[in-house]
Structure 1
Amino acid sequence: MAIPSVTPNPPWKNGLLSAMVAPARVALPIVLTTSERHRLKTMAYGHKTPYQERQRATIVLLAARGRSNARIATQTRMHVDTVRTWRGRFAAGGLPALADRRRSGRPPSFTPLQVAEVKALACQLPSDIGTPLSRWSCRELAREVVDKAIALALSASTVRRWLKADAIKPWQYRSWIFIRDPEFQAKTARVLDLYARTFDGEPLGKDEYVISSDEKTSIQARCRCHPTLAPGQARAMRVNHEYGRGGALAYLAAYDVHRAKVLGRCEPKTGIVPFMNLVTQVMTTEPYASARRVFWIVDNGSSHRGKKAIDRLATAFPNAVMVHTPVHASWTNQIEIFFSIVQRKVVQPNDFTDLAQVRDRLRAFEDRYNATAQPFQWKFTTSDLDDLLARLDRHTLADRQEESSASPPT
């Protein structure tokens, strides 16, 4: 049997095969300027850089070192076509070419008019349009939009995205109050001047002091039914929910604004007599007993309200001057800051066996506070007060003009 001989490819066939082989692609050279290199390194190694931007910057940096596309793909674990694409884009357009190109995307499902109507609906009170709600949520708004045929269907997430663009949050609310005191500016300015050591345009002397005073009412003694557990590793302090009531007391305190010293006392309840007990405790203590003047800043509570309280204080202690804050302006009284500290550090979480323990802890905290306290950094001045009132006047005027334009002519 004859064995067929194997003959090499003829010359014409070798030429055809060589013509069919595609030429190898040559990687585009990348040359970086100093600013481009710095920017690319920031993108590649920044902790807050998006992942895609970090990948693209890494590709360009490795390409600038002269590495091939295949080697970059192996090192970055990306496809070689991806490496080739971003290398080519940077070579053609520089840093701006590393950003995503604009895409047409899917046509919008809602018109700008529908978006505006939803935002306008969110800016209305639900009760004004007959909806039995106190405030809107995104889900309730989406339901209302469908009920009113503004759109055939709408999701709560879409409503949330639209409202976020204009910072509209109809589910939130803030309480506020009108200024009712006709002497608001004068009274507030007097208090602020005292904080700045000035009274009636004259600076205070070294023997003149400013006391901020008030009462913290109804501090209860709640005896927990089970002992409070101390915190531990990965465990917060645990306080039993059930408790027995051990009564309540009032904590009266006087805070020296410029010396950061507190004198306080506990009383069964508030009233004129307990407040005058506090005044007596302070005014019979040095340096207040021999001071030229001691200014008492108080709010309009029943224990120290009106002209009678001013006369009562002056009669008992001629060197004491009572200064009232405006009505509904207890925020101008610095003693409220101290009471907030007491609430956070002493009262909460409320776990006392009896009222005697409450009294002892409050007295001990006074000593602890007075040992290291510094005056509060009060930054609200009379200039800030003028700016605040000017803004309120502008808002009030704008509201009145809006109401007059909305009301029908008579």
Structure 2
Amino acid sequence: MAYGHKTPHQARVRAHVVLHAARGHSNARIARETGLHVDTVRTWRGRFAEEGMPGLADRRRPGRPPSFTALQVAQVKALACQLPAETGTPLSCWSCPELAREAAERGIATFVSASTVRRWLAQDVLKPWQHRSWIFITDPGFRAKAGRVLDLYARTFDGVALGVDEYVLSADEKTSIQARCRCHPTLPPGRARAMRVNHTYGRGGSLAYLAAYDVHHAKVFGRTEPRTGIDPFMNLVAKVMNQEPYASAKRVFWIVDNGSSHRGQKAADRLAAAFPNAVMVHTPVHASWLNQVEIYFSVVQRKVVSPNDFTDLAQVGDRLRAFEDRYNAMAQPFQWKFTTSDLDELLARLDRHTADRQEESSVALAA
């Protein structure tokens, strides 16, 4: 204990007291050697003599009695789990200071600090000041459409494994990429300083970035267009389908969402008429998260677009094309882990949640 590298300081000092005593030193000398008061030395020598090694540990102390009861803590947590509108408070969400103030007004506690409320909520990982958006499934064919997309990611279609000459592409548009010319040059990071980007900028217009992502080969094909639409999307399709190995492939599946450029059966027929080996597969409504190209667009947003500092649209286009080449040189396929089994579990959980909510509503109406 006295010479261990990981021994706490207090335990190290007490061990030195015992070792000095074992050498026959007096309490006064031990106090001088260790820098302790002589009464402290006498205390630790006595405890070691009576209890041995356990006597060098701190004894249990009663400490200050708790300022708040368990019931008060539970009441504050219950208040945090309610929407402010349900309590008549004109707030959109709770903050710790607001919860502390509300607890005092309701008589839960005479006074409680915001930091105390924050500590209580942290025990149950409650963060009422945060929110997440969500949407109910409205597409009646959600399971079939989503399952078809997930099967393609697993290289199957209609229960049959895809061949080596069949490909899966995920395509979409990233709209309104602006060219914001900052009024002052962007400053690079420095010592104890992050990159600095001037807030004021001039607008240099915007463009759309259309991309098709080969899901299993991590290859991106992109185009920049002044705006989105049927013709720009078909230009992207032509760029991909007129080159190998897609031109001579048995089938090329195009996974798209329900945007106006490629919505419905007309878009599928238009694609098949232009390229007979192309098959359009739509994601369910409000389910663009199933489209893997959205992951690529998030990479583009983080690594290319933000912070937005471009002199003109030509520079935006050049940067996107250069990044596309860089990405294709080093990218690996995304590790997509959401399977049809996960989809079935998600839908079952949503069904149970919906049934529980309907039951609660029925009970409330009956009451």
Q: TM-score, normalised by structure 2?
A: 0.89
Per-residue deviation at 1:312? 1.3
Judge conservation of contact 1:211–1:296 (CA < 8 Å) in 2. Answer: yes
Judge conservation of contact 1:60–1:86 (CA < 8 Å) in 2. Answer: no
Query: How far apart in 2 are the matches of 1:393 and 1:94?
Result: 63
Alignment-mate amino acid for residue 196 of structure 1: A
- The 3-state SS of whatever aligns with 2:85 is helix
Q: Select between 184-193 and 336-345 the one with higher mean Cα deviation.
A: 184-193
CA RMSD of superposed structures (Å): 2.6
**Residue number among 280, 305, 324 corresponding to 1:347 in the alignment:** 305
- The 3-state SS of whatever aligns with 1:249 is strand
Deviations 1:321-379 (A, max 9, x none): 11111222211111111111111221111111111111111111111111122111222
Change (3 A) 1:151 1:365: closer
Taking CA–CA contacts closer than 8 Å with sequence separation of 6 or more, which of the two structures ends up with the larger relative contact order?
2
**Residue number among 228, 236, 243 corresponding to 1:278 in the alignment:** 236
Query: How far apart in 1 are the matches of 2:202 and 2:75?
Result: 54
Is residue 198 from structure 1 mapped to residue 156 from structure 2 by the alignment? yes
Query: How far apart in 2 are the matches of 1:299 and 1:70?
Result: 84
Judge conservation of contact 1:60–1:90 (CA < 8 Å) in 2. Answer: no
- The 3-state SS of whatever aligns with 1:177 is coil
Alignment-mate amino acid for residue 299 of structure 2: I
**Residue number among 275, 278, 281 corresponding to 1:323 in the alignment:** 281
Judge conservation of contact 1:45–1:54 (CA < 8 Å) in 2. Answer: no
Q: Residue 259 of structure 1 aligns with which residue?
A: 217
Deviations 1:66-97 (A, max 9, x none): 45566665555333443444455466556665
Judge conservation of contact 1:207–1:293 (CA < 8 Å) in 2. Answer: yes
Q: Which runs of 5+ in 2 are unaligned?
A: none
Q: Select between 59-68 and 116-125 the one with higher mean Cα deviation.
A: 59-68
Q: Residue 18 of structure 2 aligns with which residue?
A: 63
Query: How far apart in 2 are the matches of 1:184 and 1:95?
Result: 68
**Residue number among 193, 205, 208 corresponding to 2:166 in the alignment:** 208
**Residue number among 240, 247, 254 corresponding to 1:289 in the alignment:** 247
Q: Residue 144 of structure 2 aligns with which residue?
A: 186
- The 3-state SS of whatever aligns with 2:104 is helix
**Residue number among 360, 364, 370 corresponding to 2:328 in the alignment:** 370
Deviations 1:199-255 (A, max 9, x none): 111111110001011100001111122222333444433322211111000000011
Query: How far apart in 1 are the matches of 2:348 and 2:47?
Result: 56
Is residue 129 from structure 1 mapped to residue 84 from structure 2 by the alignment? no
**Residue number among 66, 72, 79 corresponding to 1:114 in the alignment:** 72
Larger Rg: 1
Q: Residue 101 of structure 2 aligns with which residue?
A: 143
Q: Residue 40 of structure 2 aligns with which residue?
A: 82
Q: TM-score, normalised by structure 1?
A: 0.80
Judge conservation of contact 1:63–1:72 (CA < 8 Å) in 2. Answer: no
Judge conservation of contact 2:171–2:212 (CA < 8 Å) in 1. Answer: yes
Q: Select between 198-207 and 391-400 the one with higher mean Cα deviation.
A: 391-400
Change (3 A) 1:176 1:95: farther
**Residue number among 119, 122, 128 corresponding to 1:170 in the alignment:** 128
Change (3 A) 1:75 1:323: farther
Judge conservation of contact 1:60–1:87 (CA < 8 Å) in 2. Answer: no
Alignment-mate amino acid for residue 146 of structure 2: T
Q: Select between 400-409 and 181-190 the one with higher mean Cα deviation.
A: 400-409
Alignment-mate amino acid for residue 166 of structure 1: D
Q: Residue 197 of structure 2 aligns with which residue?
A: 239
Change (3 A) 1:70 1:206: farther
Query: How far apart in 1 are the matches of 2:253 and 2:119?
Result: 54
Per-residue deviation at 1:287? 0.6
Per-residue deviation at 1:161? 2.9
Q: Number of aligned pairs?
A: 364
Deviations 1:82-139 (A, max 9, x none): 3444455466556665554443344444443333322222221111111111111222
Judge conservation of contact 2:181–2:312 (CA < 8 Å) in 1. Answer: yes
Per-residue deviation at 1:297? 0.8
Q: Select between 89-98 and 324-333 the one with higher mean Cα deviation.
A: 89-98
- The 3-state SS of whatever aligns with 1:266 is strand
Percent of aligned pairs with the same amino acid: 74
Equivalences for residues 25-36 of structure 1 within 5 A: none
Query: How far apart in 2 are the matches of 1:168 and 1:131?
Result: 19
Judge conservation of contact 2:17–2:44 (CA < 8 Å) in 1. Answer: no
Judge conservation of contact 2:17–2:34 (CA < 8 Å) in 1. Answer: no
Query: How far apart in 2 are the matches of 1:331 and 1:360?
Result: 28
**Residue number among 110, 115, 136 corresponding to 1:152 in the alignment:** 110
Alignment-mate amino acid for residue 293 of structure 2: I
Judge conservation of contact 2:14–2:56 (CA < 8 Å) in 1. Answer: no
Judge conservation of contact 1:227–1:240 (CA < 8 Å) in 2. Answer: yes
Q: Residue 347 of structure 2 aligns with which residue?
A: 389
Q: Which runs of 5+ in 1 are unaligned?
A: 1-36
Change (3 A) 1:212 1:226: same
